Amino acid sequence: MLKKLQILLESLLSRGRSLQNDEVAFNCTFCHHSKKKLQVNLRTQMWQCWVCGVKGRSIYHLFKKLKASTMHFEKLKDLTGYTPVTTAKKTYDELSLPIEFKSFLQVESSNPEFWNAFSYLKKRGLTREDILRYNIGYCETGPYSKMVVIPSYDADGILNFFTGRSYYNDSTFKHKNPKVSKDIIGFELYIDWEYPITVVEGVFDALSVKRNAIPLFGKIVLEKLKKAVVQNNVKHINIALDKDARAKALQSCEYFINNGVSVNLIDLQEEDPSDLGFSRITSVIHESKALTTYQLMEMKMKEKMI
């Protein structure tokens, strides 16, 4: 079956080169790299291009991205028995980084866009280590043109979200997100559930906190993260959301306290973690105290009166 699956892939891609552990390397049709950098595991069906970062968890989704014919899908079903589940929202296993994505590992010393994007990240307080660790890159053209792109990966290293931020101040569109569900765990790949976690709104907030920080890509703690905190027996959580998200933050505090999790509601005043920077936000978190049930009730009453 695996050999037939390889032949089917070769009918859409280039001739493959067999590797160890049932993997086959092909030329990537997304970034058109000269070497065979698109690797597909015929047994697990996981695939990834090691240059442009496009990846997925099934050959079915690779075929979708390749715009394969009905005949190809029928043959794939015969070989693997895979039947797609239709959902109202696109799921993150169909997600890939923009084709135009460039990693900062590919240093382009003569390219002004490289330096403009890199300088923007440095001004936001990121170090070279941060940039490399989180696989942050940028796009010069395409839907995310003149934006840095910050990916988020799940516990298995699969892309589950990314966000684009313009590195020019006069840009019309300051940020752009893919049209996928935000009910994911941001930066899950880097989270150790045995230690306290800090929940923040955006990626730059999480990058400022550095340690065990989860960006929501919004203002609401959604179900997947709530369940993960409880299922992983997290003992303590810091919630550091902007003041305009206070009502939602209090709802999350109540949920966690009711499930035996100690909660610190971080008072950010008028600044968010990315404004404060690593040293100051770390001090604010350390100086905060666990929220009591009585304090929570008081805060909820005050919020209703505003």
**Domain boundary pick from 176, 199, 223:** 176
Q: Give 7 or 81, the one with higher predicted confidence.
A: 7
d(CA 262, CA 242): 20
Q: How far is CA 54 from the centre of its chain?
A: 13
Whether residue 237 is found in the same domain as residue 137:
no
Whether residue 270 is found in the same domain as residue 198:
yes
Tally of structural domains, the chain: 3
Whether residue 159 is found in the same domain as residue 78:
no
Whether residue 256 is found in the same domain as residue 226:
yes
**Domain boundary pick from 62, 86, 110:** 86
Whether residue 285 is found in the same domain as residue 222:
yes
Residues contacting residue 8 through CB under 8 Å, at least 6 positions apart: 72, 75, 76, 79
pLDDT band of 88, cuts 50, 70, 90: very low
Whether residue 51 is found in the same domain as residue 14:
yes
Whether 92 maps to a domain, the answer reads no
Could you report the per-residue pLDDT of 36-78, keeping only the tens digit for each? Answer: 989 998 888 888 888 887 888 788 888 888 888 888 888 888 8
CATH, residue 164 = 3.90.980.10
pLDDT band of 108, cuts 50, 70, 90: confident
Beta strand residue intervals within 120-257, DSSP E:
137-139, 147-153, 159-166, 175-176, 197-200, 213-215, 236-240
CATH, residue 263 = 3.40.1360.10
Could you report the per-residue pLDDT of 208-218, keeping only the tens digit for each? Answer: 999 899 999 99
> Could you list the residue range(s) of the whole structural domain that residue 242 is in?
188-305
CATH, residue 70 = 3.90.580.10
**Domain boundary pick from 17, 52, 86:** 86
